[in-house]
Amino acid sequence: MSPRITGLVTAALLTAAPLALGALPASAAGCTNPEVIATSVAPRSIVLAPGGTATFAVQVSVRANGCVLTGTEALLTLPTRAKVDQPLTLLSDADGISVFTGSVPVSASALDDAAAGTWKVRTSTSWTAGDAPVATEVTTAPARGDDEGEDEGEDDGEDELENEAVEGEGKVAVLRASSVSAEATSSALSKKNKIKKGKALTVKGALRRTSWETGAEAGYAKERVELQFRTPGGRYKKVTSLPTRAGGTFAKPVKATRDGCYRVVFGGSRTTAPATSAGDCIDVR
């Protein structure tokens, strides 16, 4: 496991509070398999700039069904396949439903760039029957012949319930921060961004994203950005989609036909957060 990931694991374990074990009494009606009724991870995505930190919460609701819930933890699986165990604590217990929660701190300085993307979250709640009787299930073997089954001895028709941990699933996107720039340029453009109608313009810029490992931004190539335009008082509308080249650069020739502003929008990727440039406005004469 990478030393950077090891640091994340250590931080997560140090910030977790002790488990509230044995907090839930078994009911007199007996113990049947507990059920996970809800699992949530919030927020659904976090964005980390170099040196940045963030926290996401994991929460799971479990119906005890008369059993004793003895502890819950969350197992995080990163895109690098590194795994992090996060204990969860008892938040509430009412009407036979127990809610466990925990906060997971994430630090960019503890992560490799390859850790960006979707983190899978699997909760596991252990349990015992306690003093309650354990429910059994009746099973019937299919008929295989008139005399089959008698030679193998009698079956009492009951299998004891195995107290395997019950599980829930969730996910969170941990993304690298990005930025995008856009500028309308032309030799015919004045210092006050005034230009004659019909003259040629080029909207150019660059898409960049941060590296958690180096702490710096670098060009993000082989992605697509959207060039948008709006008139004064209007809303931005798509003009075209552009690919980013080496160094994350892009350029699009346009004609100056009316007053307005250009901007560029990056919709994000599996590993990188969305970004929107500031608008660059022109005054067409």
Contact 37/77 with Cβ under 8 angstroms?
A: no
Dihedral over Cα of 270, 274, 275, 276: its sign: positive
Q: Is 177-284 the same fold as 3-175?
A: yes
H or E element that contains 46: strand 45-48
Residues of the chain scoring pLDDT < 70? 1-29, 131-162
| Residue 157 three-state SS | coil
| Largest Cα–Cα separation, the chain | 101
Q: Which two tokens stand for residue 102?
A: 């925990």
Give the span between the Cα atoms of 258 and 261, in whole angstroms: 10
Q: What is the CATH number of domain 177-284?
A: 2.60.40.10
In the numeric block, the tokens 């009746």 are attached to: 138
pLDDT of residue 185: 93
Dihedral over Cα of 10, 14, 16, 21: its sign: positive
pLDDT of residue 14: 38
Q: What is the pLDDT of residues 149-182, one digit of tens each?
A: 444 444 444 444 557 899 999 999 999 999 999 9
Q: Which two tokens stand for residue 212?
A: 């958690």
Give the span between the Cα atoms of 82 and 217, in whole angstroms: 25
Domain ranges of the chain: 3-175, 177-284
pLDDT of residue 218: 97
Distances in Å between the alpha carbon of 240 and those of 62, 184, 202, 271?
A: 49, 15, 13, 24
Q: Classify residue 134 by its DSSP letter.
A: B
Q: What is the CATH number of domain 3-175?
A: 2.60.40.10
Residue 92 backbone dihedrals phi, psi, to 5 degrees = -155, 160
In the numeric block, the tokens 């925990």 are attached to: 102
Contact partners, residue 145, CB within 8 Å, separation at least 6: none
Contact partners, residue 95, CB within 8 Å, separation at least 6: none
| Cβ atoms within 10 Å, residue 209 | 24
pLDDT of residue 8: 58
Please state whether the predicted TM-score (pTM) of the whole model is above 0.75: yes
Q: Which two tokens stand for residue 213?
A: 């490992």
